[in-house]
């Protein structure tokens, strides 16, 4: 069921391209409430014991030759983060209710961020997680560059450059894990015994990359 948080949100993104401006905020609110409601229902329907490990939601081949799968799964952490995403998404739409400038475009980019965030937290394939993480960079740039305030173009470009730098480091770490373990599946990678020599350089690279992407202090000004 949780996979529908992604599908419904991206469906809202498409609908915002066609509906009249007057309905854009209402559609965005309806979509974000639906995503939050799905997460809330999943919380009450999922047994606590099942949240101790990844439980697959969807798993279909994506790029079979490279071992990439469209694999979504849920555990206690990802379900919690999906709930947080739903709460923040609804709050953001309500907080932006009075937005008048290019309203359809604003909520279009906003829902792209929300859908990408759901994808990040539910991904059980390392490349799929990376794909959703990088997807969010594009709408963030336009939200800041178009709808920001002081020095918005400078801020948007700076954030984008930071994000691409962090993404490049993460991609190097993903390649190292894939070449070594021969898999991108997070369940498999969690059980694989990586050599200490690899961990000594690959972990700092991955940690630094994700710390940049997450905006961890002091890596952002």
pLDDT digit of tens for each residue in the chain (221 aa)? Answer: 889 999 999 999 999 989 888 899 999 999 999 999 999 999 988 888 778 888 889 989 888 777 788 999 998 999 999 999 999 999 999 999 888 778 889 999 999 999 999 999 999 999 999 999 889 888 988 888 888 777 888 888 888 888 888 899 999 999 999 999 988 998 889 889 999 999 999 999 999 998 988 878 887 76
Alpha carbon 117 to chain centroid, angstroms: 3
∠ CA 155-157-163, rounded to 5°:
100
Q: Bridge-partner residues for 63, per DSSP?
A: 68
**Residue extents of the structural domains in the chain:** 3-213
């Amino acid at each position: 069921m949780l996979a529908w948080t992604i599908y419904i949100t991206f469906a809202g993104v498409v609908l915002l391209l066609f509906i009249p401006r007057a309905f854009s905020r209402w559609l965005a609110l309806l979509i974000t409430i639906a995503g939050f409601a799905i997460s809330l229902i999943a919380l009450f329907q999922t047994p606590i014991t099942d949240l101790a490990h990844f439980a697959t939601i969807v798993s279909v081949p994506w790029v079979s030759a490279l071992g990439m799968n469209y694999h979504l799964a849920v555990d206690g952490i990802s379900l919690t983060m999906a709930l947080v995403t739903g709460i923040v998404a609804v709050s953001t739409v309500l907080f932006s209710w009075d937005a008048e400038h290019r309203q359809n475009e604003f909520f279009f980019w906003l829902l792209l961020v929300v859908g990408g965030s759901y994808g990040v937290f539910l991904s059980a394939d390392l490349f799929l997680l990376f794909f959703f993480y990088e997807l969010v960079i594009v709408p963030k740039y336009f939200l800041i560059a178009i709808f920001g305030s002081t020095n918005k173009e400078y801020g948007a470009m700076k954030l984008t450059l930071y994000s691409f730098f962090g993404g490049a480091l993460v991609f190097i770490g993903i390649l190292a894990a894939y070449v070594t373990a021969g898999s991108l599946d997070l369940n498999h990678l969690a059980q694989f015994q990586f050599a200490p020599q690899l961990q000594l350089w690959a972990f700092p690279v991955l940690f630094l990359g994700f710390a940049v992407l997450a905006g961890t202090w002091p890596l952002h000004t």
